[in-house]
């Protein structure tokens, strides 16, 4: 144990998790057989460009298409056009890209094949609002959903019913061509409806469900849009729709697979590892506080796990924005975790987003060390104030403990690892 630097080990585990979800490793084995007719590639998400390149490099026949990705996540693909748009709040570039995708798949035949590439961020990157909803209103609704603490399931329910491409509508537009979707999951539970808001799968939720989400979080919408939702005019494509018959959907990378890859790295270092869950949701600071309570039990009593060990988890937490800080949810989780944990010798933690961007900051996440609180005190940094203003990134940046990777061109969402070195019964650092 002593020969392994804790921070180096946690970083290696994170990078292994990201590597396991890289499209170059995941896409080729899921490619279908070439069709008699044309092959069209479309898609959206932070991994869309890397996925498109993997298709381009491994496809034996003719190929054309278009994908849209977030700024900084683009790559050159010889046969597939790659566009960039805004994330997490949609913009006009994304709207134009979504419109072009629908144009590209129009008028296909049963001899043609559409390969749809989906990954995290695909919802925001391909906005195409329903009639009567202006893009500026769609942007406002998105911002308010992101700030109010709504779950990703709630957010995507609204997105599916305010869109002309999500909620199975892209699949319907591809009919009668053969449709194969390759998806990298960024959502707890890997529900295809929630990956890029399910443009190629049936949606059993309703306009009424979306309206309830908006009302629950007190988010206003234009009167004509409210009337459309109330009347069911914006209904998504439902299970059993014949236009979706025969479509194939493949999860090519998931949060659990990435946690398993991280666990192998830790296991090779001779340390016990426990995967708590790949689908943790909830308010980031509350999830952090709960994690701290568990780590205290492990460190102080050896329950329910004996130290030394590493606890891994994933999922997608949320942040209810109260202040003016720059987020994001993983840094907020980590700051709340450390504050609740207090001084605790031998506990290190890393929390980061696997796409390399935590919230709106170009920072993947951060690292917690046993002396973080003491170093903050010497620098006259108030962790409580930073948490209150949703400014955890500034706190960790001041300490030099930000984790910066740049765009990873994949996304299996949150990654959290806590290393507990303290042996049971060892003297505890006083609070």
pLDDT at 314 over 50: yes
Sign, CA dihedral 190-195-201-207, equals positive
Mean pLDDT over 120-133 rounds to 95
Mean pLDDT over 215-243 rounds to 96
User: What is the enclosing helix (H) or strand (E) of 155?
Assistant: helix 152-161
Output phi, psi for 83, to 5 deg. -110, 155
Q: How many CB atoms lie within 10 A of CB 423?
A: 13
- Structure-derived torsion over alpha carbons of residues 119, 124, 129, 134, reported in degrees to the nearest 10: -170
Percent of the chain exceeding pLDDT 70 equals: 97
Output phi, psi for 31, to 5 deg. -70, 135
Residues 6+ apart with CB under 8 A from 268: none
Task: Retrieve residue 377's tokens.
Answer: 């005190």
Rounded to an integer, what distance in angstroms lies between the CA atom of residue 359 and that of residue 364? 9
Q: How many CB atoms lie within 10 A of CB 424?
A: 13
Instruction: Decide: pTM greater than 0.85.
Output: yes
Beta-bridge partner residues of 84 = 69
Rounded to an integer, what distance in angstroms lies between the CA atom of residue 73 and that of residue 355? 9
Strand duo 113-118 + 178-184: pairing: parallel
Task: Retrieve residue 374's tokens.
Answer: 């003491």
Task: Retrieve residue 399's tokens.
Answer: 């300490």
Question: What integer pLDDT is reported at residue 361 of this predicted model?
Answer: 76
- Taking only the tens place, the pLDDT of each residue in 165-208 is 999 999 999 999 999 999 999 998 899 999 999 999 999 999 99
Residues 6+ apart with CB under 8 A from 19: 25, 261
Question: What integer pLDDT is reported at residue 324 of this predicted model?
Answer: 79
Number of H helices, E strands in the chain: 16, 12
Question: What integer pLDDT is reported at residue 431 of this predicted model?
Answer: 36
For residues 124 and 48, is the Cβ–Cβ distance under 8 A? no
Sign, CA dihedral 151-155-161-167, equals negative
Q: What is the band of 325 on the pLDDT scale with cuts at 50, 70, 90? A: confident
pLDDT at 249 over 50: yes
For residues 343 and 373, is the Cβ–Cβ distance under 8 A? yes
DSSP per position, 323-386 = SSS---HHHHHHHHHHHHH-S-TTEEEEEEETTS-BTTBS--EEEE-TTHHHHHHHTT--HHHH
Question: What integer pLDDT is reported at residue 126 of this predicted model?
Answer: 97
Q: What is the band of 32 on the pLDDT scale with cuts at 50, 70, 90? A: very high
Domains of the chain, earliest start first: 6-17+256-420 (3.40.1480.10), 31-237 (3.40.50.10180)
Q: How many CB atoms lie within 10 A of CB 212?
A: 15
- Taking only the tens place, the pLDDT of each residue in 15-26 is 999 999 999 999
Comparing CA positions, the residue from 52, 77, 88, 55 lying closest to residue 186 is: 88
Q: What is the band of 327 on the pLDDT scale with cuts at 50, 70, 90? A: low
- Taking only the tens place, the pLDDT of each residue in 91-111 is 999 999 999 999 999 999 999
Q: What is the band of 360 on the pLDDT scale with cuts at 50, 70, 90? A: confident
User: CA angle, 265 as apex, 260 and 267 as ends, to 5°?
Assistant: 85
Q: How many CB atoms lie within 10 A of CB 152?
A: 24
Residue 163 DSSP symbol = B
Q: What is the band of 69 on the pLDDT scale with cuts at 50, 70, 90? A: very high
């Amino acid at each position: 144990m002593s020969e392994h630097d804790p921070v180096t080990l946690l970083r290696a585990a994170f990078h292994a998790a990201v590597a396991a979800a890289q499209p170059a490793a995941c896409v080729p084995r899921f490619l279908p057989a070439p069709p008699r007719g044309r092959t069209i590639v479309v898609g959206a998400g932070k991994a869309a460009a890397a996925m498109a390149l993997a298709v381009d490099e491994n496809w034996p026949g003719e190929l054309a298409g278009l994908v849209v990705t977030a700024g900084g996540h683009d790559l050159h693909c010889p046969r597939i056009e790659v566009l960039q748009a805004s994330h997490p709040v949609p913009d006009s570039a994304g709207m134009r890209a979504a419109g072009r995708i629908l144009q590209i798949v129009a008028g296909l035949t049963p001899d043609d094949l559409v390969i749809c590439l989906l990954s995290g961020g695909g919802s925001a990157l391909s906005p195409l609002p329903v009639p009567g909803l202006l893009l500026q209103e769609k942007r406002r609704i998105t911002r308010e959903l992101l700030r109010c603490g709504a779950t990703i399931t709630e957010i995507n329910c609204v997105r599916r019913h305010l869109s002309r491409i999500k909620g199975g509508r892209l699949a319907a537009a591809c009919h009668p061509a053969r449709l194969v979707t390759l998806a990298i999951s960024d959502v707890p539970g890997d529900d295809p409806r929630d990956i890029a808001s399910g443009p190629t799968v049936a949606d059993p939720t309703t306009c009424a469900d979306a309206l309830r989400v908006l009302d629950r979080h007190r988010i206003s919408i234009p009167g004509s849009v409210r009337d459309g939702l109330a009347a069911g005019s914006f209904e998504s494509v439902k299970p059993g729709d014949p236009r979706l018959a025969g479509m194939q959907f493949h999860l090519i990378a998931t949060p659990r697979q990435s946690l398993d890859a991280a666990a192998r790295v830790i296991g090779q270092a001779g340390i016990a590892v426990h995967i708590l869950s790949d689908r943790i949701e909830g308010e980031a600071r509350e999830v952090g506080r709960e994690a701290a309570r568990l780590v205290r039990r492990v460190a102080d009593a050896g329950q329910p796990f004996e130290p030394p060990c590493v606890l891994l988890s994933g999922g997608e937490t949320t942040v209810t924005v109260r202040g003016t800080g720059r987020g994001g949810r993983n840094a907020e989780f980590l700051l709340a975790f450390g504050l609740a944990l207090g001084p605790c010798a031998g506990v290190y933690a890393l929390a980061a987003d696997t796409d390399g961007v935590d919230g709106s900051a170009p920072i993947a996440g951060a690292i917690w060390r046993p002396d973080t609180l003491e170093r903050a005190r010497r620098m006259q940094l108030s962790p409580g104030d930073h948490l209150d203003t949703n400014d955890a990134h500034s706190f960790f940046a001041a300490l030099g403990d930000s984790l910066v990777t740049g765009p990873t061109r994949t996304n299996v969402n949150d990654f959290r690892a806590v290393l507990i070195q303290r042996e049971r019964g060892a003297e505890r650092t006083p609070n």
